[in-house]
Structure 1
Amino acid sequence: MQKVAIITGAGRGIGKAIAEHLVADNYLVAVADIDGVTAKYVSDRINALTPDSARYYVLDISEREAVFNLVDDVVSDFGRLDVFVNNAGIAYIDSIVDSQPDKVNRLLDVNLKGTFWGIQAAASQFIKQGDGGTIVNAASLASVEGSALQGAYSASKFAIRGLGQSAAKELAQYGITVNAYDPGIVLTPLRDYIDQKTAQIKKTTPDLQRKSVIDEIAFGRPASVDEIADLVLFLVSPKAKYITGQSILIDGGMRFH
């Protein structure tokens, strides 16, 4: 029987790569995103190569009811749920003193609360099924060390690590693992926004800003989305069945902990 995975924020970037890698590993995938156009594109592309392997779903993960409805819809469509990847997230770049309340609230609603609802909805379904499950959360290098101009973002990602540890302790009794991946620099549309906004505040260019962070990487290059997806594929595999509550850095040697 094929396993079923939900990936939020799967309409582009890392989430898209995760969905594609899971399908290559014989999963059925729910491509979930706030952008219906990109979600449909990814689902259609997957199905063109591997027919009937993907469906797309549109939701705002900050809305708890929408996340629970997503799980219900996926179980109705595919019959069960085995993996939930809380990949969706947003960034907000500004100094702490200049950060706007509406922007901070939105970021926390999506990154932290959205992840909370994802864990809650997935765990509820896994417990109902009675045969375990796997939850993987998107943390970040910013969950290990805070960065200037990323106060709200870092706070949300540090919180996701703590949330994941608590969930891992609570859910182990049900055979549910909860882990996180901590990407460093990955060239995605989200990274483009981070570099552009940071450069604007620092009064430099996006190219110079990007070079300054790439220069900190031991390998001397950013990660590819496929490399991040490979880590997620490991975390959902039987090889990681005894790993829970962990947050794994994948940053090419920028930070060590």
Structure 2
Amino acid sequence: MAAKRTAIVTGAAGGIGRAIALRLADDGFDVAVNDISRQSEALTQLVAEITAKGRTSSLHIADVSSEDEVCAMVEAVVNQYGSLDVMVANAGIATRSPISEMTAEQWDRIMNINARGVFLCYKYAGMQMIKQGNGGRIIGASSTVGKQGHPFNFAYTASKFAVRGLTQAAALEFGPHGITVNAYAPGAVDTEMLPFIFPPDTPRDTLLGEMAKLSPLKLVGTPADIANLVSFIASKESQFITGQSISTNGGAYFD
């Protein structure tokens, strides 16, 4: 019988995080799902769906920008499941604003969740995996705009560039312990975050059409497209890949 494997997915209540959690459950992982308190109902439904797949799941309310809460979440998961094998630091937010109008408070909020949150998840997952001595997979959420700047998304762009740097540095530190650290860098994906990245008040069909034009494939990504990549990065077969921020953008941007 294969050993049980446990994953944490942050920001799992909807969109890409939800798709990742469900895909990892299909891959045989027990999945601990995280988000903030106002997403409790959505998380409860997600736990039920994962359980229906025959996997164990649990709900963990935590603000990923809080060190105490991330530490407590990892500890709670390990106490319940016995180990932590995969950490997916997916939680993130975006606010569309010209640089001249962005406040320091907006900057801090985005950087705290998107960059500090990834740092804390990397830190505590890495410490736990080193303690276990069995290696592991740590995965973060970057973006195409973490490789090429995007107007009116000043802080979001900076935070996603930061994730790439965190991923490379953590890969160097954790590599000797058999832990790989990678990030996924989505392009345009059809999720509820789109209005916060692209011009406001744009009809959804128009927005999706304009995004499709950016891709040589003339496609807009889905959360499942990103979950497919994460599934591979989380697998044993990805053991020779680390420090990478892998583009999944339909060819809209080439590295």
Asked if these proteins are the same fold (TM beyond 0.5), I'd say: yes
Match of 2:42 in 1: 38
Match of 1:47 in 2: 51
The CA distance in 2 between the partners of 1:239 and 1:73, in whole Å, is 28
Structure 1 length normalisation: TM-score? 0.94
Answer whether contact 2:153 2:197 (CA < 8 A) is retained. no
SS at the partner of 2:180? strand
SS at the partner of 1:186? coil
Structure 1 pair 171–214 and aligned structure 2 pair: CA distance change class (3 A): same
The CA distance in 2 between the partners of 1:108 and 1:168, in whole Å, is 21
Answer whether contact 1:39 1:58 (CA < 8 A) is retained. no
Of the three residues 232, 235, 247, the one matched with 1:234 is 232
The CA distance in 2 between the partners of 1:209 and 1:54, in whole Å, is 35
Alignment-mate amino acid for residue 4 of structure 1 = T
Answer whether contact 2:140 2:184 (CA < 8 A) is retained. yes
Match of 2:153 in 1: 150
Answer whether contact 1:92 1:104 (CA < 8 A) is retained. no
Of the three residues 2, 5, 9, the one matched with 1:3 is 5
The CA distance in 1 between the partners of 2:211 and 2:240, in whole Å, is 34
Answer whether contact 1:82 1:133 (CA < 8 A) is retained. yes
Match of 2:67 in 1: 64
The CA distance in 2 between the partners of 1:20 and 1:6, in whole Å, is 12
Alignment-mate amino acid for residue 242 of structure 1 = F
Match of 1:22 in 2: 24
Shift of 1:23: 0.8
SS at the partner of 1:127? helix
Structure 1 pair 27–206 and aligned structure 2 pair: CA distance change class (3 A): closer
SS at the partner of 2:193? helix
The CA distance in 1 between the partners of 2:250 and 2:236, in whole Å, is 25
Instruction: Percent identity, please.
Output: 38
Map of 1:98-247 to 2, 5 A cutoff? 98-195=101-198, 198-200=199-201, 205=203, 207-247=205-245
Q: How many residues in Structure 1 have an aligned counterpart in Structure 2? A: 251
Answer whether contact 1:199 1:209 (CA < 8 A) is retained. no
The CA distance in 1 between the partners of 2:101 and 2:205, in whole Å, is 24
Shift of 1:192: 3.7
Shift of 1:121: 0.5
The CA distance in 2 between the partners of 1:218 and 1:118, in whole Å, is 35
SS at the partner of 2:185? strand
Structure 2 length normalisation: TM-score? 0.95
Answer whether contact 2:25 2:53 (CA < 8 A) is retained. no
SS at the partner of 1:199? coil
Structure 1 pair 109–23 and aligned structure 2 pair: CA distance change class (3 A): same
Shift of 1:133: 1.0
Shift of 1:45: 1.8
For the aligned residues, what is the CA RMSD? 1.3
Answer whether contact 1:199 1:206 (CA < 8 A) is retained. no
